[in-house]
Amino acid sequence: MAVYTDVSDAELETFLAEYDIGDADALKGVAEGVENSNYLLTTSRGQYFLTLYEKRVDPKDLPFFLGLMDHLSARGINCPKPIHGRDGNAVRMLAGRPAAITTFLHGLSPRRIAVRHCGPVGAALAELHLAGRNFTMVRPNALSVAGWRPLFDGSRAKADDVARGLARELEGELDVLEARWPKALPTGVIHADLFNDNVFFLHDKLSGLIDFYFACNDALAYDVAICFNAWCFEPDRSFNTTKARALLQAYEKVRPLEAAEREALPLLARGAALRFLLTRLYDWIHTPANALVKRKDPLEYLTYLRFHRNASSLADYGL
Amino acid sequence: MAVYTDVSDAELETFLAEYDIGDADALKGVAEGVENSNYLLTTSRGQYFLTLYEKRVDPKDLPFFLGLMDHLSARGINCPKPIHGRDGNAVRMLAGRPAAITTFLHGLSPRRIAVRHCGPVGAALAELHLAGRNFTMVRPNALSVAGWRPLFDGSRAKADDVARGLARELEGELDVLEARWPKALPTGVIHADLFNDNVFFLHDKLSGLIDFYFACNDALAYDVAICFNAWCFEPDRSFNTTKARALLQAYEKVRPLEAAEREALPLLARGAALRFLLTRLYDWIHTPANALVKRKDPLEYLTYLRFHRNASSLADYGL
């Protein structure tokens, strides 16, 4: 949670003059997201979301992210819809940062994930995959299998301080995953970060998906595998088959998986667990314990990784 | 800026069931205030502000603060109006903290203070003083002259690390102010913290006053003196007479000062400068440099203090 860049009333007025959404009635920095500065903007026309992109987002990726949100919302996906200025642009500078306004989505993220959330998430993910099919821009997944070893190299020397034997175990994982990672699965645009804080519910119905700043092109089934990790483990780190079944069945009602995708899911889930383990490990090692950003325990994902490693087919998940 | 206490969707639902403001559509932690956890709450009925009181606010003071906001808003002051639950209570527990919902005020705080802001601030302060006259609850000002020496005692040993000779200078100030502090001025409810981030403007009109969590009973003219410090110094720490004149004239149009109040203003302004110097000094010394909360430079107020010390009447301010 953070607001890194301050926006003055005068800067905001100049910025908003480029748009047709009325004058600012209020601007509140929101404690949401660790990558960007986010503001809730109220104008005479309603509520909007204002994002200033901080240094972890490459400005070259913004046309992809905002173009994707345009594309998806035009196809009925409830995601933030970029507001374009009178010049047609959705991104312009504000307080020295590239910035964009989007619509404001209603809903609350579920804090405790229940089975009833998992079906709607599976269905929304499949709808996202279908809606993204004819999106023409491309952004490779920097955090897929090819990116994991360089990421690990940045943490290797201190990995064993986090857990004894961790460096060696991850080394072995990388060897296996690099050798066996599937290359011929159906690909498309994936969300790549569909955790519970990026999904809104309203009156027990899924009301929106947010945070497309990891979206990229990759195997669609890899997104399902990420959701297995994000939605189907309990706080005690046990795997909840009922949740996974609800998620997968709802996904397949919208977009049935091919046989190769179903077969690959345990390995993809193992890779997804490693991906989040590696970024968390990197942040754990490189973020001071008393820093503004709260560090997330990387070892949670070691438990998940080992669980997936022991599964050789969906039957081993009870699916 | 901070959100200290997390509120889950389930806790919020239970909490809101006690109110008649509809169901939660969205809840965003806002990066505002360093004392409390603040959320922007959107319900089917509109926008509200949700505050969870953290440990720096004494729960025993909440009836005063919320009762005052009730009182003032009933008398036409644009301040947050507490929303009462069906049981009549404006405060109840949420996520382990006392919490209250208020109306949401529109407006933006001016970042760069201009002369055009100072008249409306003076008028609003006087209206606040008049509207507070028949408020029956009492809260002594813990940060008035009697509170300054104990506050200084907590910083004295390290004061000279902040500026050479500071301990001795402040000691001398305390002696003078304790001896000469006026005791017979008109008193009432004062805001006591009316800085620019607590005042909203909309289309160049003052649209609201917020943050009544320092409000207390004290000399009304002391509130004017606080505003001299808060609104009338330039970024280079020079005193802007035009701003002070605009503020004072607008105040007196609503509530003319008595002769004793005008005479006391230089001393009151000196005391107000010392009060903010002392709290900033305390925070400076006791907050780690890399902490979440941004420390404010105490020496800014040393400049102001010395300026007021050299004034013996309002004429010395050009007023």
Q: What is the ipTM of this complex?
A: 0.81
Asked whether residue A4 is domain-assigned, the answer is no
How many helices (H) and strands (E) are present in chain A, helices listed first? Answer: 10, 9
Residue B318 has pLDDT above 70, yes or no: yes
**Number of structural domains in chain A:** 2
CA dist B303 and B234 (Å) reads 12
Side chain identity, residue B76 = G
- CB count in 10 Å sphere of residue B20: 10
Q: How confident is the model at residue B296 (pLDDT cuts 50, 70, 90)?
A: confident
Burial A223-238 (b: 16+ CB within 10 A, else e): bbbbbbbbbbbeeeee
Which residue stretches of chain A have pLDDT < 70?
Answer: 1-3, 33-34, 289-294
Same domain flag for A129 and A81: no
Candidate from B31, B202, B288 with C-beta closest to A31: B31
Contact criterion met (CB < 8 Å) for A111 and B8? yes
CA dist B184 and B231 (Å) reads 26
Min CA distance, B305 vs chain A (Å)? 28
Same domain flag for A63 and A163: no
Q: Looking at residue B22, which CATH number applies to its domain?
A: 3.30.200.20
B123, B105 Cβ separation under 8 angstroms: no
CA dist B196 and B5 (Å) reads 26
Asked whether residue A3 is domain-assigned, the answer is no
Asked whether residue B185 is domain-assigned, the answer is yes
Q: How far is CA A17 from CA A9, A85, B230, in A?
A: 12, 9, 30
Min CA distance, A41 vs chain B (Å)? 10
Decide if A27 touches B, using CB distance below 8 A: yes
Q: Looking at residue A188, which CATH number applies to its domain?
A: 3.90.1200.10
Which residue range forms the structural domain that includes residue B73?
Answer: 9-103
Per-residue pLDDT tens digits for B85-94: 999 999 999 9
Least CA distance to A109: which residue of chain B? Answer: B9
| A40: chain B residues, CB-CB within 8 Å | 28, 30, 40
Per-residue pLDDT tens digits for B90-118: 999 999 999 999 999 999 999 899 999 99
Asked whether residue B233 is domain-assigned, the answer is yes
Same domain flag for A287 and A210: yes
Contact criterion met (CB < 8 Å) for A25 and B109? no
Would you call A84 exposed, middle or buried from its count of C-beta atoms within 10 A (0-12, 13-18, 19+)? middle
Residue B4 has pLDDT above 90, yes or no: no
Task: State which of A72, A103, A134 marks the end of a domain.
Answer: A103
Asked whether residue A262 is domain-assigned, the answer is yes
Name the strand (E) or helix (H) holding B217. strand B216-219
Same domain flag for A131 and A97: no
Same domain flag for A94 and A197: no
Q: Quote the tokens at residue B11.
A: 């806790």
pLDDT of residue A204: 87
pLDDT of residue A6: 86
Asked whether residue B3 is domain-assigned, the answer is no
Decide if B203 touches A, using CB distance below 8 A: yes
| B39: chain A residues, CB-CB within 8 Å | none
Task: State which of B103, B123, B145 marks the end of a domain.
Answer: B103
pTM: 0.87
Per-residue pLDDT tens digits for A38-85: 999 999 999 999 999 988 889 999 999 999 999 999 999 999 999 999
Same domain flag for B284 and B193: yes
Same domain flag for B70 and B131: no
Residue B291 has pLDDT above 70, yes or no: no
Task: State which of A55, A80, A103 marks the end of a domain.
Answer: A103
Residue A2 CB contacts under 8 Å (≥ 6 apart), including other chains: A31, A33, A34, A37, A292, A293, B31
Asked whether residue A173 is domain-assigned, the answer is yes
A&B contacts, CB < 8 Å? 90
Residue B147 has pLDDT above 60, yes or no: yes
